[in-house]
Chain A
Amino acid sequence: MTARIGVVTFPGSLDDGDAARAVRIAGAEPVRLWHGDAELHGVDAVVLPGGFSYGDYLRCGAIARFAPVMEKIIDAAGGGLPVLGICNGFQILCEAHLLPGALTRNQHLHFRNRDQILRIEATGTAWTNTFQPGQEVLIPVKNGEGCYVADANTLDELEAEGRVVARYVGGNPNGSQRDIAAITNQAGNVVGIMPHPEHAVEALTGPSLDGLGFFTSVLKHLVGAPA
């Protein structure tokens, strides 16, 4: 049966359509979830897409974290539901304390959009199991507040537990500590990534097809996961 992957739309979500397209191209069925939904409609995994949820008012992701749909997602993530937060989605996951640390203003204070090389370092997560350890991929990065910060202990812990999922290579686009581009939780089902894999799934519109691996990974994960 085709996996059903939820893509949440908050007011101000922008890459929700792109995430849904990537899910489709990967071979799964995208299910659109509304921020006000009080249930997850039985989806097998969830993508929190990029954008400016609630206008980034207060702090990126700070309001979205309280959306009704997030309560359900936080619960389900605790139970192992695969969740991928991209860009604003990563910010929301940090605000929701599903992932440690925070994303702050880019060090150079500008929004930056470029094609970025990443090195995939953790391939045991629900969203990266089709990559090779150390594999370099080319994926667009675009953010104004993508500078990952955490205290030194947290960073050491992330490194020690192999929870740094991807690092920037060939230039750090936002000043993230230790070049961190993506991290995961202890269980490996929740991944937050600042660059946009959903923008690298078609030869016509992306710099590569490398982003597809994130979406095919979760399908592989779901097949292997106990029902």
Chain B
Amino acid sequence: MTTHPDPVRESPEGVPAQSQAAAVPPVTPARHAAVREATDWTDGTDTVSRAAGTPEELQPYAELGLLDDEYDRIRHILGRRPTQSELAMYSIMWSEHCSYKSSKVHLRQFGEKAPPSDRLLAGIGENAGVVRISDELAVTFKVESHNHPSFVEPYQGAATGVGGIVRDILAMGARPVAVMDPLRFGAADHPDTARVLPGVVAGVGGYGNCLGLPNIGGEVVFDPCYQGNPLVNALCLGVLPVDRLQKKDATGPGNVVVLMGAKTGRDGIGGVSVLASATFTEGSEQRRPSVQVGDPFMEKLLIEACLELYDAELVVGIQDLGGAGLTCALTETAASAGTGMRVWLERVPLREPSMEPHEILASESQERMLLVVAPEKLEAVLKTAEKWGVWATAIGEVTAPEPDGSPGRLRITWRDHLVVDVPPGSLVDDGPVYARPMREPADLILLQADRAETLPRPADPDTLRETVLRMIASPNLCDKTWVTEQYDRYVLGNTVLAQPEDSGVIRIDERTGLGVALSVDGNGRYARLDPYQGAKLALAEAYRNVAVTGATPIAVTDCLNFGSPEDPGVMWQFAEAVRGLADGCAELGIPVTGGNVSFYNQTGAAAIHPTPVVGVLGVLENVADRVASGFVPRPGAEHDQLFLLGETHVELSGSEWAWVTHQHLGGVPPQVDLAREKQLAGLLADAARVGHLSSAHDLSDGGLAQSLVESCLRHGVGARIAVPERFAGNSMPFVFLFSESAGRVLVSVPRGHEKAFTALCGEHGVSWELIGVTDPTGGALEVHGQFRIGLDELRTAHTGTLPALFGGVQSFEVPAPAAAEVVFDAPVGAFEPAVDLDAVSGVDATDAATTAAGQNPEPASGGEQAAPTQAAPTQAAPTQAEPAQVEGVLAAEPTEAAADRPAERATPPVRTGQVELAEAADPAPTSSPEASGTDAPQHGDTEQPAAPDER
């Protein structure tokens, strides 16, 4: 043990013991102390006293990313020039990444507009938000970016991105239980994507798999705008007993400050200031030393050690070391408690003994945690660390606030020289705040005027068939197994749903079945066209993805990926997106609990699309009730009925189709109506609970066609679909299949449940439409009168893309599990058959109550085709029509003729009618009932049915 003379205080009483517990005997700091005697600059140490005596010395603040006035402010705070170490600390703590100096003024809205929530135990400003999900249990979750490092060094960048967010979750007192990763890359066929993507995927997998955390979902998106700026976001979910919530406050003067985990090395120095807070330019690839290197094994040990410390109540406060390393952890823990801290920096175990104090303070070496421990518990803490084979070193102690009651000071010595003497709050809270200039991008008006609804659309069955196959094979819509099978989704044994499902679902409590659903979504194209609506659309999609599992959404996290805040156009996009997200959360009644801002995703003048990525968390009282996205195999000729919930408008701007087939981005994104999303979520939760749903799948990118194909391929169950009457003719079947209108879900309902389900839709005010049936034995997806595509052909198209692009993996043919191999506990219709849809035979057995609930058969065009259609032609109809609906239930008789019922056509809002799906003798789909008869661009908008689309 070394006793250190204390240059700060007169008597060094209570100097914490230098203690290290590790599998390997530590280097003793005394060895370094012996070689350093001198007290001036020649020694290489810029001390506080030296700084006071050399006010004119030039300092490289600009190179560290500080502006002139920021540097002046530091001098003002300290009353002298900062030492080299202090300058390093201010430069990283006041960087965009740490200080949120450009975003702070906008992010306030998340708090100001947040709906009241009695579930929120910790919110914005903590390492991660904590949400109570039962009397005993809480979950914590957060999504964060690691974009810049992942471009420079894909594997380590992505790996340490996972490691960083996991430590955030750990610091809240939670056991990390799952991760997700929203990833965005440049064009799929760009040579650099072949460098970045495999490295990022291997990094996410390499770290997460080795930590034993199931990866339960995420996104893989390609767009040329991300070519030089891939987005690697990582989300982690943790679970904790409510009373184990940890704080970061370094309270209790005299308490010991312990650094636990990996040794400190030179990796990641300047990661936040040099790398994450600047725009990429030529030569960025030279910044590899700023990327951290991860060791997941160490992190796994750190997790187990921390959890053991929590359970034994051995720590007063805890903070992870991530961006800004020790600097951030020391200043934040002290500042949040109002205390001071005394740190002996030479006690920090080093990987490289030649490191200087400012390097130690700035290092972003991974797998480290800072603990605040009562002196009498130090021994037990070190023992626990030793058990798990991780280093733990007492490096300092908490000191009292100043005698005048003001917060204490952070004093750091290096081999007996005082190198840092600052008020910790000045680094954490007093950083610069900028209300940066904002201006709507000049090109936005023109961009919005260039609507995709005017593009030529497929208008005949052959082209439509071809379009389906092309779309499902396109990089953004294709099967992502090449990526996701590199992630362990089974470990911990609580994964109820994982990718490619709409949400990941994790069982939290094995006894009660309590669990959570999580989804992360974003759409940069929508946000580019309208950042306010784009943010709301991302929120709506994540919310809906959680809802389709039957979960009730309760909380939000976000990762806001944008270009340079110094560009007024980008700043405007950012402000609009934040406003949209805050408004959206207020409308949905769920709070933002935490998140992350990533600026400077820009190479030269080219910024990425504004990309707000939104994560929504929902609760499932019993995960056994969860609903999955795949159609369910049934024995014999049994099948489920397919309902489309929500309304389809002609909304193609910003769509995947416009991008894939026309390389077009323009117009305004789909409308978003959060009140309807809320109704939809309410319906889905109720329907799941009582077992009305055998599957539910969100509609988003790629529209209905994409959802149908995905639901079919999940378990190899085909489907037969009838295009509703009002989408008949010309390019309207295409609109039905590829529009990206929000607020829609495809559900399958087992026989016997239709009546109750549609009644429930009525109660919730959700419009619905019977569009077809599953076809477990047909082996194909058939859209009546349009096309029939075998499941094998669909699968080949859907799964071939990524292996062809990124190769490396031989494509094994894995047969879709047969019915017998798949365990389903979804309800199978136990009641008498109510509705029988059979497109082949044209049989139209009907059931009065079911049909009365919402069908309005109109005469088929040309008298040939009667398709299930939805009665309510206006958006307001579902709720307004309810009384009529009820009457309809009472009034309708089951034996109506199949086809022409002109009387009802005259009174469409009265939702009576029957379900039918008659065979068309010859649909003659190319003959358009409309006057135009062509797909000339200028006709695109006129084709939309007047009623359903009010845009």
Contacts and interface: CB of A to CB of B under 8 A. Distances in A.
A202 B493 contact: yes
A205 interface: yes
Nearest to B297: A55
Interface string B466-503: 00000000000000010011111111111110000000
A114 B813 CA distance: 12
A115 B488 CA distance: 11
B485 A112 contact: yes
A108 B821 CA distance: 27
Interface stretch (A75-83, A154-162, A166-174): A166-174
Contact of B817 (A17, A115, A202, A205): A115
A138 B817 contact: yes
B342 interface: no
B493 A198 contact: yes
Contact of A18 (B493, B808, B815): B493
A152 interface: no
B491 A14 contact: yes
A108 B485 CA distance: 13
A105 interface: no
Contacts of A142: 209, 488, 490-491
Interface in A105-158: 108-115, 138, 140, 142, 144
Nearest to A173: B812
B886 interface: no
Contacts of A204: 496, 507, 623-624, 825
Interface string A9-50: 001101101100100000000000000000000000000001
Nearest to B23: A11
A100 B608 CA distance: 54
Nearest to B491: A14
B212 to A, nearest CB: 3
- Range of interface residues on chain B? 35 or more
A205 B626 CA distance: 12
Given A11-B301, A170-B815, A171-B812, A208 B823 contact: yes
Interface string B620-662: 0001100000000000000000000000000000000000000
A222 to B, nearest CB: 24
Interface in A82-116: 108-115
A199 B485 contact: no
Contacts of A52: 209-210, 296-297, 300
Contact of A114 (B485, B493, B494, B507): B485
B212 A51 contact: yes
Interface in B202-232: 202, 205-206, 209-212
Contacts of B809: 108, 110, 112
A225 interface: no
Contacts of B623: 204
A144 B295 CA distance: 17
Contacts of B481: 114
A22 to B, nearest CB: 8
Nearest to B515: A204
Contacts of A66: none
A142 B493 CA distance: 13
Interface residues of A, number: 41
Contacts of B494: 205
Given A12-B297, A111-B206, A114-B814, A205 B495 contact: yes
A9 to B, nearest CB: 9
Contacts of B389: 11
Candidate in A50, A112, A172, A206 with the most chain B CB atoms within 10 angstroms: A112
Contacts of A138: 817, 821
A3 interface: no
B822 interface: yes
B42 interface: no
Candidate in B301, B486, B808 with the most chain A CB atoms within 10 angstroms: B486
Nearest to A53: B297
A207 B817 contact: yes
A89 B817 CA distance: 28
A110 B485 CA distance: 9
B490 A113 contact: yes
Candidate in A52, A113, A196 with the most chain B CB atoms within 10 angstroms: A113
A12 B507 CA distance: 23
A62 interface: no
B810 interface: yes
Nearest to A116: B814
B490 A199 contact: yes
B414 interface: no
A170 B813 contact: yes
A51 B212 CA distance: 7
A108 to B, nearest CB: 5
A108 B206 contact: no
B823 A196 contact: no
Contacts of B486: 110-113
A203 interface: yes
B90 interface: no
Contact of B295 (A55, A203, A206, A209): A55
A12 B211 CA distance: 8
Nearest to B493: A18
Contacts of A196: 490
Given A110-B809, A138-B821, A21 B493 contact: yes
Contact of B823 (A113, A170, A199, A209): A209
Contact of B822 (A11, A51, A172, A207): A207
A108 B493 contact: no
A14 B209 CA distance: 9
A209 B821 CA distance: 9
Nearest to B495: A205
B388 interface: yes
Given A55-B297, A111-B206, A207-B817, A15 B491 contact: yes
B919 to A, nearest CB: 38
A140 B490 contact: yes
A55 B823 contact: no
21 contacts: A11-B297, A11-B389, A12-B297, A18-B490, A18-B491, A50-B491, A51-B212, A55-B296, A56-B210, A108-B810, A110-B486, A110-B809, A111-B209, A112-B486, A112-B809, A113-B487, A115-B817, A138-B821, A204-B825, A205-B493, A207-B823
Q: Return the 3 tightest CB-CB contacts between A and B, nearest first.
A: A55-B297, A14-B212, A171-B812
Given A142-B209, A204-B623, 20 more contacts: A11-B297, A11-B300, A11-B301, A12-B297, A14-B300, A21-B493, A52-B210, A55-B210, A55-B295, A55-B298, A56-B297, A57-B297, A108-B809, A110-B485, A113-B484, A113-B486, A113-B490, A138-B821, A170-B814, A204-B624
